[in-house]
Amino acid sequence: MIVCSNQIEVIVRQLLSFVTVVLSLPSLASAQPVKVVDIEPRFDFPAPQAGLESLRDRQDLSGMRRHAWRVFEGLTQPVDPHTPVWITWHTRIEIFPQGLMIQKRRKESKLNETPFFTELEPPLQLVDKRISLDGDRNVLSGIYFNHSAFLHIQHDHTWFGEKVQLQVPPSIERLNKWFDDHPAEADVAARQIPPFPRDSIAVKVMWKPVHQSGLTEMAVWDVDSYSSSHFNSRPELNKRVVHIDPSGSTFRCPGSAVQSALPARPRPGVTDINDFYYRPVCSEAEAEVASAVAKVPVEVNDYIVLVGFHFTTKEIPDWVWATAWWHDRPREGPYAKDRPLTLRAPWNHYLLNVAFDAETPKQPDGSPRICFNPWLEGSFPDGPVSNCMACHRLSTFPKTDILPVNRGALPPDHQFFVGRTKLDFLWSLAIRTQ
């Protein structure tokens, strides 16, 4: 276990982060106040930078995985029986200019009934027209920032003598122009926004709709080694599928009378919905939002199940990158390794990969490290050989495309960054402020 040397400072910051926000809990008839809850220091967060960089430099993959699993365990600790820590965090709608318009619309319409579902959107990675249409588009996604990252985005910074507000597009544009006008004071490597504090975390999640009765078919991604293979998230095109049975759901809408005639005993190829983290759809407003985002009919008393979970922490300058996805055989294969025995269900049904570097540890064929989520990058051209860090390094002002996939590391003074301002690896800043 990596022990943080400044735990007192971290605890103080966490106490200050207990601010009240309003989230929708689908198990209740109306929105309830939920406090923003931060990850506890006992889950090795934030770990000392030197210790993490030592794991990276020694290419200690098992050590990196143990750390990522511990952080994942901390993120998924229950605040109440149906609310993990990360879901209490700040969302895009609270932070970015487009979100302010949605908040105004909430007050004027039934969107106010369903703040949790209003946060959902199609994964922006899948909007690019160059991505194969064979991939599943019936995925909903959301992003969350812990309180430290939220404050950094909201704060007024003085950087190179300029006032910078990270959520305000003209502010970053002015900073980029300042860099253009003062090359002697800020070379290419220095062209970046104020870096996020070490206790910052960003999370991106992916959901799939599940019918309230009967069996819902879902693709699963199987891999035999660290050499990744293509994943097609459309069940009819994938090599293997599972069928999700909601009949034993323990998290339903108030007054739900949905029953299933299906037998409860285990059956080959059938998985219990309680093996997922999931949330019920409890109002017409929620069903309308989910249907519009997923582009398939979603009805009241249906469910959305969590299939993918990206998270990144600023514990090292280039961030720690980890990604998890649901699997029906969670104890098998390389991505199950180093999972702590203390990780609770249903979170122990997720596999995990990690990257501390865009290059190392190398793949068996000597190529740069692979770290991707099948539910997002699996349908990209070359997505199954991509790396979170290598992709997010391209987050800049002016904005660039996520494709084509670039493998390996780009040094901060690379020609690509000439005339650009680096956005500390966060695509959210690139996409939502331009």
Tens digit of each residue's pLDDT (9 = 90 or more) over 184-199: 999 999 999 999 999 9
Q: Taking residues 113-138, what's their average pLDDT?
A: 67
What tens digit of pLDDT does each residue of 218-249 get?
988 887 544 445 555 566 556 688 999 999 99
The rounded percent of the chain whose pLDDT value lies above 70 is: 79
* 113 pLDDT tier (thresholds 50, 70, 90): low
The confidence score (pLDDT) of residue 342 equals 98
pLDDT over 60 (residue 103): no
Relative orientation angle of helices 61-75 and 49-57, to the nearest 10 degrees: 140
Q: Which residues contact 396 (CB under 8 A, 6 or more apart)?
A: 417, 420, 421, 422, 423, 430
pLDDT of residue 32: 46
Would you state the pLDDT for residue 269? 86
pLDDT of residue 48: 98
Inter-residue contact 135 to 233 (CB < 8 Å): yes
pLDDT over 90 for what percent of the chain? 63
Partner residues linked to 219 by β-bridges: 241
The enclosing H or E element of 428 equals: helix 427-432
What mean pLDDT do residues 275-293 have?
94
Sort strands 140-145 and 90-91 into parallel, antiparallel or unpaired.
Answer: antiparallel
Identify any residues that bridge with 326 across adjacent strands, giving them in sequence order: 350
pLDDT of 2 reads 42
φ and ψ at residue 75, rounded to 5 degrees: -65, -30
Residue-wise DSSP of 105-157: HHHHSGGGG-HHHHT-B--GGGG-TTS-TTS----EEEEEE-HHHHHHHHSEE
DSSP state of 213: S
293-332 pLDDT tens trace: 998 999 999 999 999 999 999 999 999 999 999 999 999 9
Q: How many CB atoms lie within 10 A of CB 122?
A: 16
pLDDT confidence of residue 125:
66
Dist CA 434 CA 168 (whole Å): 9
For residue 131, the model assigns a pLDDT of: 56
Contact 95, 292 (CB under 8 A): no
Distance CA 287, CA 293 (A): 10
User: What is the pLDDT at residue 115?
Assistant: 72
> Is the CB of residue 59 less than 8 Å from the CB of residue 360?
yes
Residue 8: its pLDDT value, please? 36
**DSSP for residue 36:** -
What is the Cα–Cα distance from 175 to 162, expressed in whole angstroms? Answer: 7
Q: What is the pLDDT of residues 3-56, one digit of tens each?
A: 344 443 433 344 333 333 333 333 333 344 468 999 999 999 999 999 999 999
Query: Where are the strands (E) in 53-118, listed by range?
Result: 78-80, 83-84, 90-91
* Amino acid residing at 223: V
The alpha carbon of 1 is separated from its chain's Cα centroid by a whole number of angstroms, namely 24
- Check pLDDT > 60 for residue 386: yes
For residue 74, give the nearest of 85, 90, 58 by alpha carbon. 85
Given this model, what pLDDT does residue 391 score? 92
Least Cα distance to 276 among 350, 202, 385, 378 occurs for: 350
- pLDDT confidence of residue 255: 81
- Indicate if the pLDDT at residue 357 is higher than 60: yes
